[in-house]
Amino acid sequence: MKAFFKIVFGKSGFTLMETVITIGVFSILILSIFGFFLVFNKTYATENTRLWRLNDAQAVAEIISADIKMAGFDPLYTANAGFEEASASKIRITFDKNLNGKIDPKKQKTGEKSEIVTYSFDPSTKIVKQILYEKTPSQSSHAILENIIDLTFKFYGYNNLPTTDISEIRSVLTTFTLQKQEATGDNVLTTLTFRSSLRNP
């Protein structure tokens, strides 16, 4: 056995100083690897949360965009459809989906989509609401997105110029910022911007 140690470690084996240095280097290496995995795990959790929130936001964006594109749909030119309200945090749009020549204040048959749709952001609750048949006896609303830090509508008219005249709106730029708190307590912010052009200007 002594002969074995002499071959592997030399005649005198490891000194105390060599042992301490070896343990120190090994400890630093382990701590470095552990630190790397901590950073990697936090980054992964952050990106996973951001992606999850982004998927929610994109789903809502598609709903809002689809309704904006339909604003003013009035094939018989008798419903006076279009934007009824357009502000930085709220829009109300109408369209004659059932082709009866007017904007109906309630559903005419089961399964029929609302012809009056409102999207509104309340910064105090951080909620975006979809309101159907606003200002009618059939009004109903529900939250479609929560934990919203900011939502802004910007309106553009002819020649892509900003406008505040609802009769001139030809496209809407929508931007909202979502917040999600991780288990670590960190807040993850995700911003989504999309533009919707009216199909029936």
HSE of 119, CA atoms in CB hemisphere, 13 A: 26
3-class secondary-structure state, position 104: coil
Q: How confident is the model at residue 1 (pLDDT cuts 50, 70, 90)?
A: very low
- Order across the sheet with 116-122: list the strands: 83-86, 90-94, 116-122, 127-132, 140-145
Lowest mean pLDDT among 3-7, 68-72, 95-99: 3-7
More confident residue, 181 or 147: 147
More confident residue, 7 or 122: 122
* Tens digit of each residue's pLDDT (9 = 90 or more) over 11-36: 555 676 777 777 777 778 777 776 66
pLDDT at position 181, please? Answer: 66
Contact 103, 116 (CB under 8 A): yes
Global pTM reads 0.72
Q: How confident is the model at residue 171 (pLDDT cuts 50, 70, 90)?
A: very high
- The domain ranges of the chain are 42-197
Side chain identity, residue 79: A
Distance CA 170, CA 167 (A): 9
* CA distances for 49 relative to 40, 61, 179, 191, 196, angstroms: 14, 18, 10, 13, 27
